A and B are shown apart, each in its own frame.
Chain A
């Protein structure tokens, strides 16, 4: 059995699954339920000076019958008093000493930061997460993403925190920035122990076409909400990997953004995360989803021979490189398995209208009756000599393993764009002819 426990920058957790700072981590009651369900840690709903919330607060992007593909919120940090929050953190820690409870903080002045950092340690929190990412409300008051979007400001504030910190400090990064790596480097320079990302993305999920006001609706107005949920996972993975691959950052990463099951979690770990934070999926289905996460990750690590989460963390980071190092001489083409093809012709029209016109609809005769049960219906056929290997047809195909991308041996050595430029400059080859 793989060891799921982690030591994240000094924060010990029985497994890498933490409740992210948000509505599910608002109270000791929820924290207790989360631990009972099997979560390894809880990042408390951000504690700061008292705020007032609005009704309503959330909205969602639904797609093709699937609810909450994307989700946004305009809820602010905790609307409970710091006293209540710190007291409840202590109660949780007392009851769950081996689980991780991390205090998420957001205040403004140096003095307030010092005070809140100390109070966090005093109540027994295992670590502190600095909320530099909240993109709504708080940023208008110079906090949240207003800090995270300016690496110099972030560096200064992390510096204040580190002056007082006795427990590990995680800096939570906003994705609403041109290059998140600069913010991560600022955290590193200021002495932070770890980073977590991504916070939510500025968003409007949809417009009500009757009222012409989006949700979440607040008496005639809405506001730009923070976007999260399954739809943001690719953005989060990109940013996690970018930070993991950057030699200057070199900090433990807590991955956040659209994680809903063990596979998502494994992808985040592979790209450099050590702990994982989940909010939206819990808001959708409750704490119970962690059972599959623990089981699935454990089985996966066993099946691949990894001894622990740390052993696996970052295993895929190096599988990404700059485009200029990709092999221009690699060729793959689409192959259709006519035993599986159901004859929807989505591959044909995707290639024809949306890509590179390399699939023809042809008489089904050479393939027997062909796909589907309508005799005479034309079947899609890939012209392999023209296929650019773009993957589109295999992506749109609704049948698993029906269209596979097959590697073709071109007999040519690897040549990257960099190599190509060098060979051209040295007169070793003629320019590759332009595509017709």
Chain B
């Protein structure tokens, strides 16, 4: 049987409601007042984009919401989506000292959302590009978080920036690939519009190498940023893999973002292969869209799974089930549609996961979602840029300070450079690449973090020309005598 939508519109909307709704003003004030306003705070250090978190929270407490959003968005142009999708538990909130003090960190993500919602709701632009451009042009390949991070930064530096993407809208996985209960696609699309207002041009439906050649790009632009992310799901290499109900988990999530919720087809019995964070997003949303059974099938054990602990908890609370140490060996069909999976237990032998002989069984499923990691676009990259060097894992080799690649004038960032990390890492790398591009085109050197401490301690003398007398060693020595 082909799969069908299972829920009416109202139930689907209720099940997919936002996990963490926006704070009411007083909630935000109470939470903001929990922040200790640390100096050179650990949360800043834990943020890949180095948002000055204590400052933006202090501004919320002081009723300066526009200023708060400015602090956030100058450091991280996708601050609104990161507020919703960042694994704050392991980043800023994991480093929050209030966690040590009270056992519960300041809810930085939700406060960040509160401040950024304020300016997006009111169409207040806190970022501005100079009216006079510097005459230099940069092409950005891919309108995902890395590309947007790079584009926004360059636009603010006076560059003319054009972003190319083969999809119909920008935002990349922020628009198409985030669990619906974490973030609505509109948030990501609003961010793209904000970047458009910085003067960045977007060309959608364009595939590089097909609709526009790399040679043309190289001729017409002073620099190119490669932010094409990763490809489709890895192949399983088992019989039945090409049946219509064996779907890439990210494609399933994209359906959720491009169709009305009650028109998204979902299986009654869904198998999700893999146990990373995308697998969790797939299993929870299957349940929320009406699946009776949604099961994660993972070849290793509970302790090995790449999903964050809090994501695992979420899936368990949603009623997902888990088959650990289990591997699919065949997708079984009936009338050309998925009917079941043949599964087998696994064990680790000689350091490798191996099937336990004779442990096979058959379990009925009508939808199989693949979340076993995304392919590297190795072929695409080498076809577009034959001299581009990739590392052994298929990631684009780059200078970590400038994000320059082995190809002249070509910079990189995001999943294709880091192999697949968080949105916030992609934004940070895009921004870093913008700094590298600007340095190359203005013949400057770059070093240090992309968002150095704004008010924090600097090493050694601050350069003011004043030494505090207490610290002048000669005086100290004189006093000691």
A residues neighboring B (CB under 8 Å): 64-65, 342-346, 348-349, 352, 356-358, 361, 371-374, 377-378, 385-386, 398-399, 436
Contact = CB atoms under 8 A, between A and B. Distances in A.
Contact of B100 (A65, A356, A372): A372
A436 B469 contact: yes
Contact of A349 (B39, B476, B479): B39
Nearest to A344: B38
A254 to B, nearest CB: 35
Given A65-B33, A356-B470, A372-B97, A361 B457 contact: yes
Contacts of A399: 101
Contacts of A357: 468, 470-471
A259 to B, nearest CB: 25
Given A65-B29, A342-B97, A348-B39, 16 more contacts: A64-B33, A343-B100, A344-B97, A345-B39, A345-B40, A352-B457, A357-B470, A358-B470, A361-B457, A371-B100, A372-B42, A372-B100, A373-B95, A377-B45, A378-B40, A436-B470
Tell me the interface secondary structure of chain A in the complex. loop
Name the residue in B38, B94, B472 with the highest tally of chain A Cβ atoms < 10 Å from its Cβ.
Answer: B38
A386 B470 contact: yes
B103 to A, nearest CB: 12
Tell me the interface secondary structure of chain B in the complex. helix
B457 A348 contact: yes
A256 to B, nearest CB: 30
Contact of A374 (B36, B45, B471): B45
B46 interface: yes
B61 A64 contact: yes
A199 to B, nearest CB: 32
A342 B95 contact: no
A377 B33 CA distance: 24
A344 to B, nearest CB: 4
Contact of A372 (B37, B61, B95, B479): B95
Name the residue in A349, A372, A373, A386 with the highest tally of chain B Cβ atoms < 10 Å from its Cβ.
Answer: A372
A343 B457 contact: no
Given A372-B95, A398-B101, A344 B41 contact: yes
A398 B36 contact: yes
Contacts, number: 65
A110 B62 CA distance: 52
B131 interface: no
7 contacts: A65-B29, A65-B30, A344-B41, A346-B37, A348-B39, A371-B100, A377-B45
Nearest to B45: A374
A436 B97 CA distance: 36
B215 interface: no
A201 B5 CA distance: 70
B104 to A, nearest CB: 13
B24 interface: no
Contact of A343 (B42, B94, B470, B471): B42
Interface string B37-80: 11111100110000000000000010000000000000000000
Contacts of B45: 374, 377
Contacts of B33: 64-65
Contacts of A65: 29-30, 33
B475 interface: yes
A398 B102 CA distance: 11
A342 B475 contact: no
A351 to B, nearest CB: 11
A436 B39 contact: no
A375 to B, nearest CB: 10
